Structure 1
Amino acid sequence: MPEAQDHGTRRSMRIGLIGAGAVAPFHVRAASVLAGAELAAVCDIDESAARRAAHLAPGARVFTDHRRMLEDDAVDAVIVNTPHALHLPIAIEAAEAGKHVLVEKPMATSVEDCDRIAAACASAGVALTVGHIQHFLPDKTAAHALIASGELGAVQLVRDNRSTDYRPGTRSPWFFSREVAGGGALFNIGAHCLDRSLWFGGARASEISASVANRFGSPVETDGVLRLRLENGVGIAIAVVSDPPTRSDSLTVVCEQGVVEADPRAGTTVRIDGRTRVLHAPTEHDIQTGFTAQLADFLQVIDGGTPAVPLEHARHVVELILASYRSAETGTTSILGRVPA
């Protein structure tokens, strides 16, 4: 586990986790190892789920209504880990209550809602970060550090292959509600792929085209293929496939002088002129390391620092998902900046 980190003379930041879903334990454990932070409360409409998460943080209070948690002044900051459409109202209510906000990805289900969250936090004078965990996972940070060093020259192409499982019944029902989730596999899993591909590509997208499939009788897309052209000329290809014979989570970055592959299961390797070397060997703690680093980033933003994931980047991810839906519906390429977001 990562060592506790110090955040100066600031008193311990009392953190409230709103939403006790699958990644809740990672958020709770992150708070437990960071000096200057404590997981003070867990809120979920399912009290049993809230209690399971709170059990990992002795002394944490349990709520079933986030408004009650905010009114009781039980926390100084919140992590919004709820279904996507709830990010907007909960983040705004937290900001209006004077609480700092870390909202899980995707930031919101529309570009307008992203802007409303950012405006509410700015107006209230509270910190805001978006939980794009890919920026903190060890296999990705090792790859990004090598590319940033300049050893491989400029990035030319990015290929991102990701498997998932969007068969109805394999995940909570809200994932299959376009109103609540914003969409299907692309809004959920595709957001991770777009986030990290843009990060490695080094620029915003100028155009995107997409094809999607709705299988298993699902009301939302279960699979999707995206092709992007970035403003710096880098090309990106992303595939999200549901329930394939083999699982995949592979990011390949083609540079002038070599190729980097990052995979949380296999680690990170680079191949240069016929020779391969390992940049990061995976460990059982890698996911937790990422969540701990993400929370540490949130704490330093509260202290006045700059977020590792710019808000404009998080907003752009949402913009691109929506543009991909337009492309899939019309069979045309979406040109960014020419179509209302």
Structure 2
Amino acid sequence: MATHTQHGRVNHLVKRTRNSTLSGSEHHGSSRHWLLALIPLSLFISFTTLISRVAHGDIPLWHWDWVPALNISLSFHIDGLALLMALIISGVGTLIFIYASGYMAGDPQITRFYFILTFFMLAMLGVVLADNIILLFVFWELTSISSYLLIGFRHESAVSQRSALQALLVTGSGGMCLMAGLVLLGFAADSWQLSEIIHLGETIQSSTLYLPALVLILLGAFTKSAQFPFHFWLPNAMAAPTPVSAFLHSATMVKAGVYLLARMNPALGGTEVWFYALTIFGGITGLVGAWLSWQQVDLKRIMAYSTISALGVLVFLIGLGNHYAYEAAMVFLLVHSLYKGALF
């Protein structure tokens, strides 16, 4: 009887030792994930070295032939707007990566989480740095796919599954509209390079393809940046882990539509259609987002609707079309990215 009791105690001690070892190794492994923040940090430092160069009008451009027969290339450029967005994405991304290492500590899926989060960040950087409009669309869709995986990260939850699918359907359908609009824009400008298209405003606006291209591009931007009446997907995206929500609301995904409008402003802006479309939808979105945020009692949904309101204000400012409004939009874009991420 005594031997049996001692044998049971030994087994219990072995199990406890094994569990402690496994738990300790998992915790130790998770604690090292903060080192992945070196990826966005190194990118941020690299971008900061370009500030002086870009400020003096020297725009770095990288170009590789992709489909020479169609004059389509893999090209990237960094002008002032692209640099601002790249600094926001990589800078906020560094803080999000560090925050996530503690928030997700002990989660058995933390490695998968960081892989998708890194993919998400790189896709967003691709959107803002791409100089070719076809390449921009490819990265645009990659942000939709990676956001779907992040919003639905807790795939065992039915709520997460529905929210992820809703976000994918809304932004994905908008992406199809964007693709069609960018193709029409390329034909109207007879160029696929953004650095050339933004200087061809008169040529594009005199083309019969201008109006359909504008409508389709606006649909792509409005769905991505949760403009009314496509705003409903963003509050539901709060089903994602908190670091994802912080990154999505502050520096990625929803800012892609605002970036696209700011990027296309020299080529598509200055017309009555552009002015009324952006000011009306942006104004309505700002008011609706603010009103709905007052009706919420859940803190996350309050922040979601306040983000919608802020996005509406950004679109409204870009639509006004004057220099001061555009500068105000860029300042607010930066400020919103900093304070919104900190709220999470």
Question: What TM-score do the two structures reach when normalised by structure 2?
Answer: 0.25
More strand, by proportion:
1
The structure with the largest alpha-carbon Rg is 2
More helix, by proportion:
2
Question: What TM-score do the two structures reach when normalised by structure 1?
Answer: 0.25
